[in-house]
């Protein structure tokens, strides 16, 4: 089984060369056949160009430059739709998620032990480095808000892999920015495995999340509760 890792980017030109090198190193370390697909929303810092230049060095790297769309979840879903491997996944571009953990997340899916795996901050040996207390608290509250939706300990994780078949007939909305949560709830996946990761705050570049995130999040979660009640 081959894997496609989607990397959504918006102004990540400084991060992308470092990340891509680490991702292929991780795939190769365990002899996994992995592809990388960068989905860039026409970043003003020309992340798409930096990514395209890397293609000479990495033949398994593709770049999708979207000039008519914006948004993290829709970028991920467009990437998933383009991927033609059995396993698909996502990682943030800002080196917050440890790429060396990729084999640990991909292998249970290849072996049939899981349909969905995620890098989890909230299980034993997982954690968060250098986040201010304010952010830790809001992340915890956001996680508590979805207790009725899923048993997963870190359903807000943006670092996850799944069997592509899991979402074959599932209608997913790109509106919220927690696309992993959207997939977990709407696919009703039971074979989930959490792998501990230590999440690190970004080193380069700025956060893209606007001040509307809390409201957007509450709307997204409410919709998922309605969905859950109706099904």
Ligand X SMILES: Nc1nc2c(ncn2[C@@H]2O[C@H](COP(=O)(O)OP(=O)(O)OP(=O)(O)O)[C@@H](O)[C@H]2O)c(=O)[nH]1
User: And the tokens for 174?
Assistant: 């790109």
202 or 223: CB nearest ligand X:
202
On the CB side of 152, CA atoms within 13 Å amount to 30
Residue 57 near which of ligand X, Mg ion, none (CB within 5-8 Å, type-dependent)? none
Nearer to ligand X, 55 or 138 (CB): 138
Using CB under 6 A as the binding rule, the residues of this chain from 78 to 97 that contact ligand X are: 92-94, 96
Q: How many CB atoms are closer than 10 A to CB 172?
A: 17
Q: Does 75 bind ligand X (CB under 6 A)?
A: yes
Map the footprint of ligand X across residues 24-53, applying CB under 6 A: 39-41
Between 110 and 174, name the residue whose CB sits nearer to ligand X: 174
Helices 179-187 and 213-230: crossing angle, nearest 10°? 0
15 in Cβ contact with 93 (< 8 Å): yes
For Mg ion, the binding residue among 78, 94, 154, 194 (CB under 5 A) is: 94
CB nearer Mg ion, residue 92 or residue 182: 92
Does residue number 70 form part of the binding site for ligand X (CB under 6 A)? yes
Burial of 10 from C-beta contacts in 10 A (0-12 / 13-18 / 19+): buried
Instruction: CB nearer to Mg ion: give 95 or 114.
Output: 95
Contacting residue, 9, 107, 117, 143, with ligand X by CB under 6 A: 9
Q: Other C-beta atoms within 10 Å of 32: how many?
A: 17
Give the one entry of Mg ion, ligand X, none that residue 75 binds, where binding means its C-beta sits below a cut-off of 5 to 8 angstroms depending on kind. ligand X
- Among 220, 226, 209, 210, CA closest to 182: 220
Single residue of 31, 111, 124, 207 touching ligand X by CB under 6 A: 207
| 96 binds Mg ion, rule: CB under 5 A | yes
Give the integer Cα–Cα distance in Å for 105 and 86: 14
Closest CB 113 distance from Mg ion, rounded Å: 29
Which of 69, 68, 84 shows the shortest CA–CA distance to 6?
A: 84
Residue 211 binds ligand X, judged by CB under 6 A: no
Task: Give the DSSP H or E segment for 80.
Answer: helix 72-82
What does the binding site for ligand X look like in residue numbers (CB under 6 A)?
A: 8-10, 12, 39-41, 70-72, 75, 92-94, 96, 201-202, 207-209
């Amino acid at each position: 089984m081959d894997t496609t890792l989607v990397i959504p980017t918006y102004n990540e030109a400084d991060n992308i060369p470092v990340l891509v090198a680490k991702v292929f190193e991780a795939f190769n370390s365990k002899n996994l056949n992995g592809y990388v697909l960068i989905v860039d929303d026409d970043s003003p810092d020309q992340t798409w160009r930096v990514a395209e230049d890397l293609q000479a060095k990495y033949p398994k790297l593709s770049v999708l430059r979207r000039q008519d769309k914006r948004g993290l979840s829709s970028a991920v879903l467009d990437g998933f739709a383009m991927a033609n491997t059995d396993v698909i996944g996502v990682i943030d571009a800002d080196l917050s998620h440890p790429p060396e953990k990729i084999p640990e997340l991909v292998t249970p899916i290849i072996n049939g032990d899981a349909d969905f795996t995620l890098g989890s901050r909230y299980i034993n040996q997982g954690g968060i480095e250098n986040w201010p207390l304010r952010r830790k608290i809001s992340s915890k509250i956001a996680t508590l808000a979805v207790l009725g939706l899923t048993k997963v300990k870190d359903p807000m994780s943006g670092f996850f892999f799944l069997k592509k078949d899991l979402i074959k007939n599932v209608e997913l909305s790109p509106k919220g920015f927690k696309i992993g949560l959207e997939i977990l709830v709407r696919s009703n996946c039971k074979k989930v495995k959490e792998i501990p990761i230590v999440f690190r705050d970004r080193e380069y570049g700025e956060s893209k999340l606007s001040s509307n995130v809390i409201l957007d999040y509450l709307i997204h979660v409410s919709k998922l509760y309605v969905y859950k009640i109706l099904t």
